Structure 1
Amino acid sequence: MHQTIQHVERVFYTALAFIGTPVNLLAIVILSRGKCGVSPCTTRYLVVMAAADLMVIFTDVILTSFRTYYYPLCFLDITPVCSVNMVLFRTARDCSVWFTITFSFDRFVTICCRKLRTMYCTDKTAAVVLTSTSALLSLKNIPFYFQFEPWRIIENVPFYCKTKSGYFTETWWVALDWLDTVLTPLLPFALILLFNALTVKHILVASRVRKRLKGESNGQNHRDTELESRRKSVILLFAITGSFILQWSMIVVYFFSYIFQGNNSADYSSFLLHFKKIGIMLQRLNCCTNTFIYAATLSRFRAKVQILIEKEFSSVGAEITVGMLSFFSSYLKNNIARHWAKLLCLQKHSLKNERSVQYERLHPKENLLLFQRCLLHYITFPNIHHNSSPVMLKIERIGNNCRDPEMESRRKSMILLLTISVTFILPWLINVAIF
């Protein structure tokens, strides 16, 4: 069992590093450019959250876990270096958690506190809040540098980090450990649940009041433009905080078992130790899920990702993408035909006679067949001028006639639901499989 969990950890952390690092870098680059459908204040929060998640992956996965798996006994194992890395990891972890709290509070003020909104929800205030939070958390974690002592001396050089025995008995260290545990994650859990509950309550009350004022209770049907304008922000808030709560829940459960079992890990059962490892894996997974949430909830963010892929992908990458699309085309049908056919085939060579083409609506099966012909045409004759291709003209007619607003709305909701579900359910399935 122990070897199995070690193998799962190695595969998981390797995949997390190779996926989480470029995903967070992509989020930082795209969000930093702005114009993603959210306010500059919200953009600043999302950028620093992605940066904090990237630092967690770098300090914990690449510099700590990879050190054990791929390059044992290197300069990273020297005790002072190891101690500094642990302080940086604690600071990055705390910043990742508390930046989520500050973002939740900012959205709470935006939605529920109309008078305070104009003063607090600004780009300048966000910068001050984030800077102050980072500074305070850094100061809080500096004493943890002195938590460790050398485990082995090799040629008068101290190696490895071993927790001092007095860490579990001395009053100073016990108080600091409790403060660290309360600040991450117990207090954040409580604050997120509080802010979300107050936000939901305000939305429900405001919705009922506005419906009565607009006469919807009498059978009239009016669109609430103000609530619709906040819908994107509310969905983004609940997706991020919901993902945080789900993926940190096992660590919170382990903390309460830690209280009842005592401080000595030697007394823990193997089940509890494995439960802790799975909880840590879930906690680290939270560092790469936010970007997928942005892509699921922000249409402009998805569009910028598409533009970036179009500019940066090589021809080999495009052909690989074509192969993947041909596999999934039977499910996504019209959406793939409309978005990716333009991306791979049409945007390089604009159709001069595009306006003169008489668009026609075709059956979905015919859409799929013509789209596959378009992909085959692109792979086989990549250098042919696409303007003269009848397949290109026909796929253009298909793409512009298959837009269904209702299906688009359902697709976004399904993407959001699947993103949150998969990121939480997969580690639990691993847990069940191991035990």
Structure 2
Amino acid sequence: MSNGDRAAMLEKIGVDSVDALFVDVPESARRSGTVDLPKFAGELEVEAQLNAFADQNISPAKVPFFVGAGAYRHHIPATVDHIIQRSEFLTSYTPYQPEIAQGTLQVLFEFQSQVARLTGMPVANASLYDGSTAAAEGVLMATRVTKRNKAVLSGGLHPHYRETVETLAHAVGIETEACAVAVDNEADVLQHIDANTACVVVQTPNVFGTATDVTEIAKAAQAAGALLIVVVTEVMSLGLLKSPGEMGADVVAVEGQSIGVPLSYGGPYVGLFAAKEKYLRQLPGRLCGETVDADGERGFVLTLSTREQHIRRDKATSNICTNSGLCALAFSIHMSLLGQTGLQRVAKINYAKAHAARDQLVTAGFEVVTPRFFNEFTVKLAKPAIAVVEALAIKNVLGGVPFARLQNEPGFENHLIVAVTETVSDADIATLVATLKEVAQ
């Protein structure tokens, strides 16, 4: 491409330089110059260099690991990876032709059934990209249902989810109103509801770990003609806590990563999406159904597909192009292996270990500010949490997520979000407490 070509393209899109295209990327995140790599190298040398880069990472499996805040380390049975590596699953794509995609359609149908049961909702779709985009799709859906134009976002909503919702909402002209950040004040959303409110978005357990019964919030929102969207970032919590459906949710958006999907440096993950049956035709993505064929045999079909590729563009309710199919399969396999009893058992272990960790931290003199939680809570330290986490990492302890890493909010610089799953041992907890006492007090 010539300089003239570049100049013509920049002029067409209305910017002065290529650098102007990256104005939203912070200066601190930009690289000046090229990466210091050799111009060429053999495969053996490249492999050695990449392994050296990889060795600079600290593996969650090798050190005490308490990182959560939306992505969690859980034990995944080896059977999950073994099954998804089978060629009929690994290479499967969108089931456009049901007569040759019965296996894929059945897997998605079973997946939907599991998600509906887990969330306590009557219908679920065949998955979305991740929890944050599922939340954003819920907001878009609520505006279609209510013919209103404002979304109220709880102060306990994960900042990354809030930013995702705000980005998509801005693109289509939806107003968003975010409540003040709070460890435990989900009901604050009710003060922001007016005649233009399409939905109220509440997360439980919230980003600080606080678990909330949102039954009364659901009643108040619905009385005002708005929908309640419940966000869950730790799907394992649904093995123990009351389901969103039981609490009156209209829409549920969940990150399903904790079941069957490894951390993988942040993705790909799998978004779970469920709703009341009366909103079925407004669901984003696709929905698979069970039927019988001409011979009366059990069969599966693509019952609902709302993407613009399938129907008139102006009637589409989604531009979701796929459904994280392999991750959805991994979720479904892990759920099948666990069963209801297994899921509840793992959830109880998470709850017990987290509360044991909380008790030891409190005994050691730390202030835990989360009043009710599943497997994640927030510690308010005496100094900035970012510096403390860096000091912990030097001592080979991955001690949690500073809230300031997620959002620069005055008054929350010292808040450290700590997640404790079944993969954490008693020795890990003791190490965290002892090391925190060294670097944070």
TM-score interval, normalised by the smaller of the two chains: under 0.3
TM-score, structure 1 as length reference: 0.23
Which structure shows the higher helix fraction? 1
**Which of 1 and 2 has greater Rg?**
1
Greater share of strand: 2
Q: Which has the higher contact order (CA 8 A, sep 6+)?
A: 2
